[in-house]
């Protein structure tokens, strides 16, 4: 825990928003795996700011420089470290924030945790920018999964109260998920884009921000992945998802709906499909029962709170004066981080599946 | 992961519903801690079946026998192992289930995972019964936390569509949480009990089951507990919560509501309270920002699906014949596990907080 | 660490010498593995006291009762817990030791560590008896390895200054190692037994104890197992070996000799053997280079100090009076634990190899 | 395991000898710790090549660039990543080694492990150069320990058959250990330097190499650090020591001598010292009993094999031709790595003690 994830596909994250560099060490990439730097760049660009009007105008190329574990284009099997340099930082914007705690941010919690020594510039290690290494690791993870026929994709399920059509949890296919990856504003029903963008624009105009929901799915995941209890698919996926700043809930399948229903409505009836494989007629469980995949698409939703950096005066405390005060955050901020978070959510799922499948393989090695 | 949780407060769970015994090894209890077996028994009884008409009539005393780590009533500091013997098992009830997969259960996923060698009796290691050791560990964890002024309690926030009044996320206090612990059917508004019980009774009468929601809170948690990213409070708590069979979602604070709102509405304004301590005027974040506690009550909700064991005919597959079939589950089952799950949810939070606070102490040891 | 070992083949140990039970939880046994309780009993008997004049006369059957993870003779894939009840304990023997620290024992270190709350009876959790669960886990581990053609065996390389002939590090074979397993006093050169036993008898006659050396080997281990740095074969094996009370050194290959030699003498020249496989002409490295197996037999030696429980008056401290004092330990003790430790050492290697091979498999799963 | 060490003071190592950079991520440095880059540089210089005639003439400054976890000279509490760029690499020297396995090196084992995809240049991730990050982490660890009054030092106990006087295991003091740190060729008896250097020079002259022994001690370590079994001081220290390429044995206290003696000779008698503290009259156990420190100096020895890179023709295999062949290694190599390894060994002990003391603190946090 803390700055590391996983036993088999092991990640170590580091970096502060305005420090020298941020990065990730990945331990567990099979030796010989082709590392496709263009594919990494493609996913990094999906998260990078400056590419869409919903996001901050800051331009950060977020190019990953791999300094170890790579030789002649392939993973060596040794830990692979990717670095992303911090550029285009305007630290001046953040000066007043050292004393005055931004509401909804980690400022106060972090200040207590680290006795005031945390890097205050740009949120430091709490910055959403630190999700860039997750996307880097996720890019490699999804390439590993692709070899096994697994595809991951996510869409903007809602921005504020404007909702997209959900994935068809039974029939969602790889083509649909890949189409999501190709868009900066991925929607099942593209007709919702205009209304959603209008909400973001309205919030921006009022120096405010909006939240939303992301729905993510993986198809091609074999049955039998995951473990009961502490290594359940939900446990491992949610550990990663809740690492992502601003995600406040994780819902597998139709959790909220199931809680209001009866077992006769929520149980997913089972059948042999046309290929003789076991399948479910519905997928209310989101592809996971007993903590283990059942061969149906893995589907979950996360709620993302509005980014707390807003340009309006807010009541807060000043730790240096010990007084209450008002704070108006300046600088460039995203009025809505949901579109940029889509690839981060996908990455979390990809990483978790690698860990789970690798762990599963370990338990079968000495059979 | 897998069958173990934690680095500092380390749990190892084992057992199958109808095996010799189920249990837990706990490593990290401070030497000299008084182990109050009555207090353990009190919490175990809250989870045990046979005590309430919402639950199965099976009577299982669930007495924990501590076989190590205990000397003259105190923890020795060495790993403490608690065993719960399995009694009153009627394996005959489950015979047909070896081939016919129960919809909504782990049967199929587990059968693939373990190549058909998993113990099929009573759900085996997937049984809800395996949460009893979590309650045992949770009882010890909450005693440790109590010394630090931390109290945990939960209530039935909903059964089917009947909802209880939520906790007041800002002002909920220890007395309220303790009151919840004293009831087999804990509610903020006891007036909802009759309507909720009616839903359970109706489901039972129709050989069906119902789901629900549990809301849980901890008060007295100091600010500064948890870590950014993989060791966030939400990550660690959710890893444990999703270990509990039937929990399908975890929502911190007002996650679902926040996703539909603007930052100006969801940011928790900060202030110095009458004692000069930093506090928030609202607690939409559920006491956690940036993955770290902020001193406000920690509050979350979980959705619990209806127990999949229902007495109605359901469509499923027979793995031995390779044919589709109908299945009617017999035996004694809970029409609603929500009341019994309350203490399990509390236990998960208690365990997670011990782990997080112990980890936090380790990072300050060499200061 | 602490009471747990491993990520892939995960062990959790618990128990005190005179508590209710000692035991081990093993997580990672492939589902379907036949658990041969006779084979377990065979190895347990090799460690059990009361079977040889070198050891204490205490009779402890050390029968393992498996309470989880086992169904119809096979591993279910869920954590397997084995319990060994404590019987034939004479706690009265140990009464004076609560205040008076036995020299060379863990008494004082443990008393500080656990603030005096550790179980003082029979050494508590520090007792050599707690190695019994290691042998239990080792029995299962070696059965897993046997399927892959790996055999492990060890012999008494020395008792006091009487030395056995070392293994031939290049040509040692499975038959030799199996022969070692069959003896309560395993020697390469059985002609040394009389002289060794004479040393033990002499020490016993003088209320004293003797130390010794165990040499252990594994054959059939494929090249490529282990990792550089923290997961090196030597790191993982030694972590387990140094868990065994009384082991104070671990030497791979001809370490002591190599330190005094030149590279031209210590480098193991390589060649294709008659089967076209890469082999070394010598095996000074003990089958491990760069932390990874090279296909040669894995060979190491451990030094075992004389058991500190001796029947002679010794100078020590009395923590209750704060005075210096003399102590004469009574009760039944082994004058030499080396013969009983042989199987414990083998077990440590077996467990480590399972962990390493399972981890290795995990890194190849997504290739 | 694998590329990570520790739970509380967590290290992640990465890098290949001729890749972009090598480095270490350290997670667990208390926020606010002053990071003394000069002190780091001082220890790095002790390991760096090119500073002594016993070592290779390659000049590598080994300057650590800290890219995260540092703000205004202090640790932020977030993971701290230190990078060391690779410079002065002559890859051409290593070209023939891709096919021809260097005897005694990791080449063959690594080639199997990584299916031939490991970086062959300069030993890749197996290079002794990768110990530089250990020294970096060790520098920070020893600064943390210094605040608690703990000092670590080591000396060259032997080169080939020329031995130094051992530390006085009872009375060794901080001043002696600090004096060792100040020398590039640390000896208790400086009179041995000439003879030792002569052995190195002789080996160099004959295109050969020599091994040796390092003895290391820590003073000021309080009693009660470490755990029984898998978290024993010996287990944790040896896990790190065996990470260091060329170390083939680890001996705590007088392990080899104890194995040949009787308990009445090896037991360390105990007494109250002049300050009323418990002490031992001898320290054959090297400051550790039952896996836990007893307040005496922690003392151990490691054997270091001669570096396998020698300039003489050696018999080996060519993996590309499948033929036996002769190999003469060219390039610049150390005829003796013992002097440079001294600080690496000290670093391993410092890191292990941080981990153990931090873990110990975690178990007392909720008392």
Task: State whether residue B114 is helix, strand or coil.
Answer: coil
State the chains in contact with D (3 or more Cβ–Cβ pairs under 8 Å): A, B, C
Residues of chain D found within 8 Å of residue C235, distances taken between Cβ atoms: 1, 238-240, 242-243
- Tell me the backbone φ, ψ of residue A219, rounded to 5 degrees: -120, 150
State which residue of chain D sits closest to A74, comparing Cα positions. Answer: D117
Q: Do B263 and A2 touch (CB under 8 A)?
A: no
Please count the residue pairs, one from chain A and one from chain B, whose beta carbons lie less than 8 angstroms apart. 401
Q: Which residue among B235, B267, B295 sits closest to A239, beta carbon to beta carbon?
A: B235
Q: How confident is the model at residue A246, as a pLDDT?
A: 96
* Residue C366 domain flag: no
State which residue of chain D sits closest to C357, comparing Cα positions. Answer: D113
Helix (H) or strand (E) holding B314: strand B313-318
Average pLDDT, chain B: 94
Q: Do D125 and A68 touch (CB under 8 A)?
A: yes
Q: Which residue among D7, D358, D366 sits closest to B148, beta carbon to beta carbon?
A: D366
Q: How confident is the model at residue B93, as a pLDDT?
A: 52
Q: What's the average model confidence in pLDDT over B238-245?
A: 97
Q: Which residue among D210, D234, D316 sits closest to C269, beta carbon to beta carbon?
A: D316
Q: Which residue among A32, A77, A359 sits closest to C362, beta carbon to beta carbon?
A: A359
Task: State whether residue C216 is helix, strand or coil.
Answer: strand
Give the Cα separation of A171 and B261 in Å (integer).
31
* Residue A58 domain flag: yes
Cα of first residue to Cα of last residue in chain C, in angstroms, is: 30
State whether residue A186 sits within 8 Å of chain B by CB. no
Q: Do C317 and D126 touch (CB under 8 A)?
A: no
Q: Do C366 and A144 touch (CB under 8 A)?
A: yes
Give the Cα separation of C312 and B294 in Å (integer).
60
| pLDDT surpasses 70 at C76 | yes
Residue of D267 and C3 predicted with greater confidence:
D267
In contact, A150 and A221? CB cutoff 8 Å:
yes
In contact, D98 and D120? CB cutoff 8 Å:
yes
Give the Cα separation of C361 and C350 in Å (integer).
16
State whether residue B355 sits within 8 Å of chain D by CB. no
Residues of chain A found within 8 Å of residue D118, distances taken between Cβ atoms: 31, 71, 76-78
Residue of B26 and A96 predicted with greater confidence:
B26
State whether residue D25 sits within 8 Å of chain A by CB. yes
Q: How far is B285 from chain A (nearest CA, A)?
A: 7
**Between residues 105 and 164 of chain D, which touch chain C (CB distance below 8 Å)?**
105-110, 112-113, 125-126, 130, 158, 160-161
User: Could you tell me which of A158, A101, A99, A178 has the C-alpha nearest to residue A338?
Assistant: A158
Report DSSP state, residue B259. T
Q: Which residue among A2, A109, A224 sits closest to B289, beta carbon to beta carbon?
A: A109
* Residue D8 domain flag: yes
Residues in a beta bridge with C300: C216, C252
Q: Is D258 exposed, middle or buried (0-12, 13-18, 19+ CB in 10 A)?
A: buried
Give the Cα separation of D268 and C314 in Å (integer).
9
Q: Which residue among C33, C78, C366 sits closest to A358, beta carbon to beta carbon?
A: C366
* Residue A326 domain flag: yes
* Residue A366 domain flag: no
**Between residues 211 and 240 of chain C, which touch chain A (CB distance below 8 Å)?**
228
With a CB cutoff of 8 Å and minimum separation 6, the contacts of D58 are: D49, D50, D88, D332
Q: Do C365 and A361 touch (CB under 8 A)?
A: yes
State whether residue D261 sits within 8 Å of chain C by CB. yes
pLDDT tier at C332, thresholds 50, 70, 90: confident
Q: How confident is the model at residue C111, as a pLDDT?
A: 95
State which residue of chain D sits closest to C286, comparing Cα positions. Answer: D248
Q: How far is D316 from chain A (nearest CA, A)?
A: 24
With a CB cutoff of 8 Å and minimum separation 6, the contacts of B41 are: B63, B64
Q: Do D21 and A68 touch (CB under 8 A)?
A: yes
- Tell me the backbone φ, ψ of residue D262, rounded to 5 degrees: -105, 155
Residues of chain C found within 8 Å of residue A143, distances taken between Cβ atoms: none
| pLDDT surpasses 90 at B259 | yes
Domain of A241, CATH number, reads 3.60.150.10
State whether residue C79 sits within 8 Å of chain B by CB. yes
Q: What's the average model confidence in pLDDT over C279-296?
A: 98
Residues of chain A found within 8 Å of residue B229, distances taken between Cβ atoms: 2-3, 5, 13, 130, 243
Please count the residue pairs, one from chain B and one from chain D, whose beta carbons lie less than 8 angstroms apart. 76
Mutate to test the interface with B, among C5, C6, C12, C24 (most CBs of B within 10 A): C12
- Write out pLDDT tens, residues C145-194: 999 999 999 999 999 999 999 999 999 999 999 999 999 999 999 999 99
State whether residue B362 sits within 8 Å of chain C by CB. no
Radius of gyration of chain C (CA): 21
Q: How confident is the model at residue B56, as a pLDDT?
A: 66
pLDDT tier at B297, thresholds 50, 70, 90: very high
Q: Half-sphere exposure of residue C341, counting CA atoms within 13 Å on the CB side?
A: 30
In contact, C108 and D270? CB cutoff 8 Å:
yes
**Between residues 300 and 339 of chain B, which touch chain A (CB distance below 8 Å)?**
303-310, 312, 314-317, 319, 322-324
State whether residue B4 sits within 8 Å of chain D by CB. no
| ipTM value | 0.96
Q: How confident is the model at residue B1, as a pLDDT?
A: 62
Quote the longest CA-to-CA distance of chain D: 71
| Token pair for C329 | 């330990």
Q: Is D52 exposed, middle or buried (0-12, 13-18, 19+ CB in 10 A)?
A: middle
* Residue B352 domain flag: yes
Q: How far is A233 from chain B (nearest CA, A)?
A: 8
Q: Do D361 and B365 touch (CB under 8 A)?
A: yes
User: Could you tell me which of B280, B222, B250 has the C-alpha nearest to residue B345?
Assistant: B250
Q: How confident is the model at residue D95, as a pLDDT?
A: 60
Q: How confident is the model at residue C1, as a pLDDT?
A: 62
Q: Which domain holds residue C189?
A: 4-359
Q: Which residue among B228, B256, B317 sits closest to A125, beta carbon to beta carbon?
A: B228
Residues of chain A found within 8 Å of residue D67, distances taken between Cβ atoms: 14-15, 19-21, 23, 83
CB atoms within 10 A of CB B34: 10
Q: How confident is the model at residue D305, as a pLDDT?
A: 98
Q: How far is C277 from chain B (nearest CA, A)?
A: 35
* Total number of domains constituting chain A: 1
* Residue D365 domain flag: no
Q: Do C362 and A361 touch (CB under 8 A)?
A: yes
Radius of gyration of chain D (CA): 21
- Quickly tell me which residue has 């479910």 as its tokens: A280
Give the pairing type, strands C162-163 and C278-280.
unpaired
In order along its 367 residues, chain D shows pLDDT tens digits of: 688 999 999 999 999 999 999 999 999 999 999 999 999 999 999 998 877 777 766 666 789 999 999 999 999 999 999 999 998 555 565 567 789 999 999 999 999 999 999 999 888 999 999 999 999 999 999 999 999 999 999 999 999 999 999 999 999 999 999 999 999 999 999 999 999 999 999 999 999 999 999 999 999 999 999 999 999 999 999 999 999 999 999 999 999 999 999 999 999 999 999 999 999 999 999 999 999 999 999 999 999 999 999 999 999 999 999 999 999 988 778 899 999 999 999 999 999 999 999 999 999 999 8
Residue of D345 and B91 predicted with greater confidence:
D345
Q: Which residue among A262, A278, A305 sits closest to B208, beta carbon to beta carbon?
A: A262
Q: How confident is the model at residue D330, as a pLDDT?
A: 82
Which residues of chain A fall below pLDDT 50? none
Q: How far is D176 from chain A (nearest CA, A)?
A: 35
* Residue C124 domain flag: yes
- What CA–CA distances, in Å, run from D257 to B125, C128, D260? 50, 21, 6
């Amino acid at each position: 825990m803390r700055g590391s994830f996983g036993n088999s596909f092991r990640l170590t994250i580091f970096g502060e928003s305005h420090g020298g560099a941020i990065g990730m060490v990945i331990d567990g990439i099979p030796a010989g795996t082709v590392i496709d730097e263009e594919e990494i760049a493609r996913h990094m660009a999906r998260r990078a700011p400056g590419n869409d009007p919903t996001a901050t105008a800051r331009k950060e190329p977020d190019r990953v420089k791999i300094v170890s574990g790579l030789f002649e284009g392939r993973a060596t099997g040794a830990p692979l470290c990717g670095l992303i340099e911090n550029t285009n930082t305007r630290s001046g914007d953040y000066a007043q924030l050292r004393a005055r705690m931004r509401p909804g941010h980690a400022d106060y919690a972090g200040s207590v945790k680290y006795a005031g020594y945390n890097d205050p510039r740009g949120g430091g290690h709490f910055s959403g920018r630190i999700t860039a290494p997750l996307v880097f690791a996720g890019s490699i993870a999804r390439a590993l999964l692709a070899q096994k026929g697994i595809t991951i994709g996510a869409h903007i399920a809602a921005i504020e109260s404007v909702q997209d059509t959900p994935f068809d949890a039974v029939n969602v296919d790889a083509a649909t998920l890949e189409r999501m990856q190709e868009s900066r504003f991925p929607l099942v029903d593209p007709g919702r884009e205009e209304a959603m963008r209008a909400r973001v624009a309205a919030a921006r105009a009022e120096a405010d921000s909006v939240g939303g929901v992301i729905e993510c799915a993986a198809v091609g995941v074999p049955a039998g992945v995951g473990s009961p209890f502490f290594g359940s698919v939900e446990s491992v996926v949610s550990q990663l998802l809740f690492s992502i700043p601003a995600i406040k809930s994780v819902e597998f399948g139709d959790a909220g709906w199931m809680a209001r229903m009866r077992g006769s409505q929520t149980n997913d009836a089972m059948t042999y499909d046309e290929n003789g494989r076991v399948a479910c007629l519905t997928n209310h469980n989101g592809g996971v029962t007993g903590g283990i995949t059942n061969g149906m698409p893995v589907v979950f939703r996360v709620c993302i709170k509005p980014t707390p950096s807003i340009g309006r005066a807010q009541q807060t405390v000043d730790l240096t004066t010990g007084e209450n005060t008002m704070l108006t955050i300046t600088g460039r901020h995203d009025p809505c981080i949901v579109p940029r978070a889509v690839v981060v959510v996908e990455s979390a799922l990809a990483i978790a599946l690698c860990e789970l499948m690798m762990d599963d393989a370990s338990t079968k090695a000495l059979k």
